[in-house]
């Protein structure tokens, strides 16, 4: 019959835990706390990504069924958990400011939008910059706290190795100071306790590795969708609201103009212009 302790921990883990030193116990506690934090971040990120994906699908459905590109902004339909909505809202707000002079929709927004003209390509660049800022902020929110998982992934094995080396040094030190002979039975408790920290470190790092790679793939997929929606929405706004007609050439400045040159006159024309005009030749202006 197997004991409950054997079924839970295994004989080697239980033996190492029973003979572990203070340094090994402290390192194991640090690794357990790091594992708890890593699992908390991974589960919260998984929930956040799933909710963002679902919210993006709902927003895209509303956007596809809207009557015009700014309809969701006009009717103030919010999708706060959708990163795509934050890009849409930032671009719509910037576009409304350039079209109407006001970045908040009111009761006359639709009427004013129908009578509004078009914006210039330089103003459209400001709208695209607003979308890029919103996309960058959404990407930062998605990638936040992932450094904790990366720290558990990369740091846990080294902490475990530190505990193992420390435990082996303590074991050899106690054997060197003892008067009895060295045998396998005398070395086994110290070595087993030293290897315990490496096992715990690997138990922390392996799940963090799989979770980190899985979450990074999901986050990258969401960021790619942000880029695709930004390109699509920019093209829609460009077709509906941007005036690409060539403007007239600007007048040159005075500094670029030269002194005007007068034509040279012949001798007969110069003499005729030099003769005085008689009074009788000029008709009175009555």
Is residue 211 within 8 Å of 38, Cβ to Cβ? yes
Cα–Cα distance for residue pair 12/196, rounded to 1 Å: 9
Residue 206 lies in a domain: yes
The predicted structure's pLDDT at residue 277: 45
Among 68-77, 227-236, 272-281, the range with the most confident prediction by mean pLDDT is 227-236
Residue 280 lies in a domain: no
pTM of the full predicted structure? Answer: 0.74
DSSP string across 102-125: -SS--TTHHHHHHH---B-HHHHH
The predicted structure's pLDDT at residue 285: 43
Quote the mean pLDDT of the chain. Answer: 80
What confidence category does residue 267 fall into, taking pLDDT thresholds of 50, 70 and 90?
low
The predicted structure's pLDDT at residue 10: 57
Q: When comparing pLDDT for 14 and 34, which is higher? A: 34
Give per-residue pLDDT as tens, 121-149: 888 999 999 999 999 999 999 999 999 99
Radius of gyration from C-alpha coordinates of the chain: 39
Residue 22 lies in a domain: yes
Any idea which residue has 């005398």 for tokens? Answer: 186
Give per-residue pLDDT as tens, 161-210: 998 888 888 777 776 665 555 555 666 777 777 888 888 999 999 999 99
Any idea which residue has 């007048």 for tokens? Answer: 251
Which residues are CB-contacts of 121 (< 8 A; sequence separation ≥ 6)? 242, 244
Range of the domain at 28: 18-173+188-241
Cα separations in angstroms, 220 against 130, 151, 204, 215, 276: 21, 20, 24, 9, 91
Residue 267 lies in a domain: no
Q: Is 242 helix (H, G, I), strand (E, B) or coil?
A: strand
Residue 100 lies in a domain: yes
Number of domains forming the structure of the chain: 1
Residue 266 lies in a domain: no
Q: Is 133 helix (H, G, I), strand (E, B) or coil?
A: helix
């Amino acid at each position: 019959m197997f004991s409950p302790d054997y079924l839970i921990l295994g004989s080697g883990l239980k033996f190492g835990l029973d003979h572990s030193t203070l340094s090994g116990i402290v390192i194991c506690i640090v690794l357990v706390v790091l594992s708890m934090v890593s699992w908390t971040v991974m589960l919260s990120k998984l929930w956040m990504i799933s909710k963002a994906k679902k919210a993006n699908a709902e927003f895209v459905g509303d956007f596809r069924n809207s009557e015009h590109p700014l309809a969701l902004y006009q009717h103030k339909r919010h999708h706060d958990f959708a990163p795509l909505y934050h890009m849409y809202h930032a671009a719509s707000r910037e576009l409304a400011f350039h079209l109407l002079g006001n970045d908040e929709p009111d009761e006359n927004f639709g009427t004013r939008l129908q009578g509004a003209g078009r914006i210039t390509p330089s103003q459209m660049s400001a709208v695209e910059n607003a979308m890029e800022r919103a996309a960058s902020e959404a990407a930062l929110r998605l990638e936040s706290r992932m450094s904790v998982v990366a720290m558990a992934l990369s740091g846990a094995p080294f902490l475990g190795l530190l505990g193992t080396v420390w435990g082996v040094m303590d074991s050899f030190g106690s054997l060197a100071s003892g008067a009895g002979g060295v045998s396998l039975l005398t070395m086994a408790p110290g070595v087993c306790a030293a290897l315990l920290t490496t096992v715990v470190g690997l138990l922390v790092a392996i799940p963090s590795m799989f979770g980190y790679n899985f979450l990074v793939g999901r986050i990258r997929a969401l960021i790619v969708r942000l880029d695709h929606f930004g390109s699509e929405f920019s093209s829609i706004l460009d077709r509906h609201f941007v005036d690409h007609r060539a403007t007239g050439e600007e007048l040159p400045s005075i500094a670029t103009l030269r002194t005007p040159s007068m034509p040279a006159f012949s001798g007969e024309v110069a003499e005729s212009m030099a003769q005085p005009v008689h009074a009788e030749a000029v008709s009175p202006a009555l």
